Amino acid sequence: MTMILLAMALQTATLGATNYTVDAPMTVPAGKPDLADEFDGPRVDTRVWRYDTSRNAVGWANNEKQYYAADRRENARIEKGALVIEARRETLSKDRFADWGGQGYSSAKLVSREALGYGFYSVRAQLPCERGSWPAIWLLPERGKWPDMGEIDIMEMVGWDAGVVHGTLHSGDYNHMKGTQRGAQVRVPDACTAYHDYQLDWRPDSITIGIDGRAYMRVPNTQAGDKGAWPFDRPYHLILNLAVGGDWGGKMGIDDSAFPMRFSIDHVRYWKAK
């Protein structure tokens, strides 16, 4: 297994955070997952996933530049046993895409139809490294106002800082708007050329994030009952997406010559907490 080098220095002026670093083992639960998609069918299973297109017309958060297509093979497909989310440099039209908001890029955002909760998550993925790419594996609840609703980022990486993977929590009291977000970062030199297991162990008393069976971030629930600090006590939906540009992903610009950009996911597995 590729050596993972912990990055201990505090990072500012990004959406990542590095103040809850740990180095500890993570153990995948025994037995069959309660939810699993091995992406071995002919197409994306829309019984498991839905496409989020809700902000195409008005634009996406963080000043991201993409249009998220719904069930469009160019942007989301099963290929050689993996889900491929592909971002493309292209101009669409309202004749074919009524909700197109004038974006110059297309991509896809998949959301689990089932809301999940406490348990162990493992998503095996290979990330894009092109400048302007912003892949993410994350969770949000069904409803609520951000950041009070809470956000769990299992994996984020921006192409201009390729190989540096972030795990982060956001809440009303702890979020990047205030510069108080809680998380850590880890260096994975071959994140763009090899698959890795991006993992979350979500418990009532802590949230631990790691890669390939090794935790690099843990946030304890030291303020139980305080929703501003810990809203992570209800089911959330799992999200897979590849954004283009934005406040963080586009900080160093977008390399238009690098498209298409591919975010490949070999499988998604979830074991519900017993």
| For range 238-255, the mean pLDDT | 98
Residue where the block lists tokens 């440099």: 89
Share of the chain above pLDDT 90, in %: 92
32 pLDDT more than 90? yes
Residue 90 annotated as catalytic: no
How far does the chain reach from its first CA to its final CA, in angstroms? 30
pTM value is 0.94
Strands 66-68 and 105-107: parallel
pLDDT of residue 6: 36
Residue type at position 71: D
CA distance 69 to 29: 35
78 pLDDT more than 90? yes
| For range 243-253, the mean pLDDT | 98
Residue 156 annotated as catalytic: yes
Residue 225 CB contacts under 8 Å (≥ 6 apart), including other chains? none
CA distance 187 to 4: 6
Q: Categorize the per-residue pLDDT at 19 as very low, low, confident or very high, splitting at 50, 70 and 90.
A: confident
pLDDT of residue 18: 65
Residue 167 CB contacts under 8 Å (≥ 6 apart), including other chains? 153, 154, 155, 156, 183, 184, 185, 186, 209, 210, 216, 217
- Domains, the chain, in order of start with CATH, read 17-272 (2.60.120.200)
Q: State the catalytic residue, choosing from 64, 86, 130, 156.
A: 156
